[in-house]
Structure 1
């Protein structure tokens, strides 16, 4: 409900934000744009007995954009995306459980709401919200011997992560929220949070064991280079 209300508020605010500046062109000269996008994911898995966004991986591919009006556009990302979780090496490695490496083909559908502009009227800051779909391409699991006695007792009642990996869901659906800063007419920096709506592993898939379900979270930092300048050259 909170996400829906936030989305509605942003949608209502977008036209009023546009009205704050008369210098912004009524419509970009080109209704479309495309570019290359690259960056990194910092991810974690809820349910792996570990915490922290410690798993870092590459994220990159292509982006296409459709300008709906001067204050709103739709972007679609086609990405190769690495996620998962990483064991905590602190405390002498006593709490290390598992490393999980996940490779995805990911598609993001994002609405970008104009929040502020530069003095010349060009976009400066966008708020982003949307949905994502990803397909699991491959995975790799590495478990560690347990030194923590409490953890040993807990895990003895559950399946091994190697067994759980055989039941990983191939499809992932998520919600995305973030912000993008425009630097000039061609380059953008963005920060996004992705929350998976679908479990990576559902405990009901192995009903005879007392497993935890696993869900994915990750933060993505991207730099995007756009091929075109939709607003044309600046007037001297």
Structure 2
């Protein structure tokens, strides 16, 4: 349906993790754990696509925003836990207004990322570039789909892998580019193609985002 149904069970999960993120950031500032952990806020754009929907190209743009907590495993290696709001899906064109030609999916994402940093700035004391990889859990909490598609068949949980690169302009401000691809299918069943073969839905997207580290 095109109504944009809200998935209340996962919406509860969304609200719970938002509260958790706020509490974590409050503890971060009030109890001085910043000596070990580093907090960041991030915001950017997803350019998304779905394998199997016959809508080709990264033409569904959407917002991504959230926070990140980083823990230094070694001097230049970090373990990062993020909480993100993420808009995904697919579209026939970048500026498509007809909802019957696009899929709009909203997720709460919790990525766990391992990053390696290099090119140390001796004067300012920060690493300029990084490479990262990891996995992410996504909870679907709202969707709009074409009327010919049964929205009840969309899985509420998504598991993805992530590859990315980052660049720091200053000690606090950076830019990152990521590729995320779902490991599991988006639907609880496989849609048949006209020739009788099974068709799978699997999402993937490219993300560009700005990052501010405290």
What is the CA distance between 1:89 and its match in structure 2?
8.0
* TM norm structure 1: 0.68
| Aligned match for 2:78, one of 57, 73, 78 | 73
What SS does the aligned partner of 1:199 have?
Answer: coil
**1:200 aligned to 2:205?**
no
Question: Deviations for 1:151-207, whole angstroms, at most 9, x for unmatched residues?
Answer: xxxxxxxxx32x2x220010000100010101211112100000100111254488x
Contact 1:129 1:177 in 2 (8 A): yes
Q: Name the residue aligned to 1:11.
A: none
> Residue by residue, what CA displacement relative to the aligned partner does 1:122-154 show, whole Å, maximum 9, x if unpaired?
2010001000000000100235xxxxxxxxxxx
CA distance in 1, matches of 2:145, 2:67: 29
- Determine the C-alpha separation between the residues in 2 that align with 1:79 and 1:140: 20
- Alpha-carbon displacement from aligned partner over 1:88-134 (angstroms, at most 9, x marks no partner): 489xx9xx973100000001111110132235352010001000000
Q: Secondary structure at the match of 1:166?
A: helix
Give the match's secondary structure for 1:110. strand
1:50 equivalent in structure 2: 55
Instruction: Please tell me whether the aligned partners of residues 42 and 219 of structure 1 are also in contact (alpha carbons under 8 angstroms).
Output: yes
Q: How many residues align?
A: 175
Confirm or deny that 1:103 pairs with 2:106.
yes
- Mapped partners of 1:34, 1:118: distance in 2: 20
Say yes or no: does 1:36 pair with 2:41.
yes
* Greater fraction of residues in strand: 2
Runs of 4+ in 1 over 6 A off after TM superposition: none
Taking the aligned partners of 1:69 and 1:192, their CA distance within structure 2 comes to: 23
Q: Which runs of 5+ in 1 are unaligned?
A: 1-28, 144-159, 228-236
* Alignment equivalent of 1:189, drawn from 137, 153, 175: 175
Other-structure match for 2:69: 64
Given candidates 137, 141, 144, the residue that maps to 1:133 is 137
- Contact kept? 1:202, 1:214, Cα under 8 Å: no
The alignment's TM-score, normalised by the length of structure 2, stands at 0.75
Instruction: Give, in whole Å, the separation in 2 of the partners of 1:211 and 1:112.
Output: 37
For residues 89 and 75 of structure 1, do their structure 2 counterparts lie closer, same or farther at Cα, with a shift above 3 Å needed? Answer: closer
What residue number does 1:218 align with? 205
Is 1:112 the counterpart of 2:115? The answer is: yes
2:92 match: secondary structure: coil
